[in-house]
Amino acid sequence: MSKIQPPPGSSDHQDLLASSLSASYAGVVAFITVANEGSFSRAADRLGIGRSAVSRSVQKLEGQIGARLFCRTTRATSITREGELFYQNCRPGVDQILQALEEMRDLREGPPQGRLKISAPHGFGRKVVAPLLAEFRARFPAVTLELLLDEGTVDFATDGFDVAFRDGRLDDSQIIAKQLIPMQMHVCASPRYASQHGLPDSVDDLVAHSCINQRLASGRLQSWDFKVDGQKRSITPDGAIVVNDPELAMRAVLDNQGLAQLPAYQASEALRDGALVACLEQDAPDDRGHYLCYLSRQQLPKRIRAFIDFMTTSIRALDLCGIELTAQRIHLPAAADAAGVPA
């Protein structure tokens, strides 16, 4: 009675396959090396093992396939007809393995190349990351880029991302999180809105103002975070306008529609040139940081290392934080005059 073979895909079949490959691998390597070198002794020297170990591996392989691969005499070793056929069948697979190893060596030692999949939040991705991609591609033309904007949690293994930009650290001890710049938040208004409605002096005063809220991908409204008298405080003010994109929130503020809490990377330029003014700076929340996240520091492909180094240097050079805003609140009328707004 013939032995019933387990069906393909079953755990028993996989165990049988793994056992067969494990038992055959050393024998195939030994066989290919003997065939190339023309003798067991030279094959042993090439592999860095004893001649007897090479001989045992080949003998075990011959037992597995039921054929003699070499004719051995005290003077010479020659390959049999069956050995030649087996060599011809094995050689393409061995060449593919050698090519794969060579390509991995090129990825480590040659210029950066290959595909890079990147995740970033919508606001930071559009405002900061996307404008830098052209320069990165100019420096590393062999690297192809895929940028996906998403506010959700990144699953590197499932989603296939190489790097991810995130506001705040990811709660995963397996992920390396490198801080790029601080994440400062500012409650902003246009000079015209400020001149017409004033600005809040405390967090509680926000109830008297038109506020612009942002809806997250999860469906909930994004809270406004503060630190009042040393204590963290989060509120969700009633929204005169609700949007699901940071740029739309910024646009509404510039259009004199109300107040919004915006990250410094987004509002810094408008704050510096007077298109926006800030308030409640005394209650600004703690810095959460903008991070560049990836899986491991060890054996990092050159394309990922090049991208991390480039983005770290380039983003820090943009001067998207460190804005001195304390004088803006005091000199608000001057800011309004400069913007052509009647005080």
CATH number at residue 282: 3.40.190.290
Residue 328 pLDDT exceeds 50: no
Asked if the structure places residue 109 within a domain, the reply is no
Share of the chain above pLDDT 90, in %: 38
Report the alpha-carbon distance of residue 64 to residue 67 in Å, rounded.
8
Any domain includes 6: no
Q: Which helix (H) or strand (E) holds 94?
A: helix 81-109
pLDDT in tens, 3-44: 444 444 445 545 544 455 555 777 888 888 888 888 888 888
Q: Please say whether the beta carbons of 47 and 40 come within 8 A.
A: no
- Residue 7 belongs to a domain: no
User: What is the chain's alpha carbon radius of gyration, rounded to the nearest angstrom?
Assistant: 32
pLDDT score, position 237 = 92
Q: Judge whether 40 lies within some domain.
A: yes
Tell me how many domains the chain contains.
Answer: 3
CATH of the domain at 124: 3.40.190.10
Q: What is the pLDDT of residues 193-227, one digit of tens each?
A: 999 999 999 999 999 999 999 998 788 899 999 99
Burial of 314 (0-12, 13-18, 19+ CB in 10 A): middle
Q: Does residue 2 fall inside a structural domain? A: no
Last residue of a domain, which of 51, 78, 103? 103
Between vectors from CA 143 to CA 142 and to CA 145, what angle results, nearest 5°? 145
Asked if residue 214 and residue 80 are part of one domain, the reply reads no
* Tens-digit pLDDT profile for residues 130-166: 999 999 999 999 999 999 998 877 777 778 899 999 9
Cβ partners under 8 Å of residue 290, min gap 6: 124, 165, 166, 167, 179, 180, 181, 182, 183, 265, 315
Residue 190 near residue 263, CB atoms below 8 Å? no
For the chain, give the mean pLDDT.
82
Same domain assignment for residues 127 and 86: no
- Report the distance separating Cα 235 and Cα 226, nearest Å: 8
Q: Which of 56, 75, 103 is at the close of a domain?
A: 103
Q: 108 falls in which pLDDT band (50, 70, 90)?
A: low
| pLDDT beyond 80 at 264 | yes
221-254: pLDDT as tens digits = 999 999 999 999 999 999 899 999 889 999 999 9
Angle of helix 130-139 versus helix 302-316 axis, rounded to 10:
130
Residue 30: inside a domain: yes
Task: Supply the range of the domain harboring residue 232.
Answer: 185-289+321-338
* 169 and 251 share one domain: no
Which residue in this structure is represented by tokens 């600005």? 199
**Residues forming beta bridges with residue 71, ordered by sequence position:** 78
Please tell me the pTM assigned to this model.
Answer: 0.62
Whether 292 contacts 180, CB under 8 Å? yes
Contact 49, 86 (CB under 8 A): no
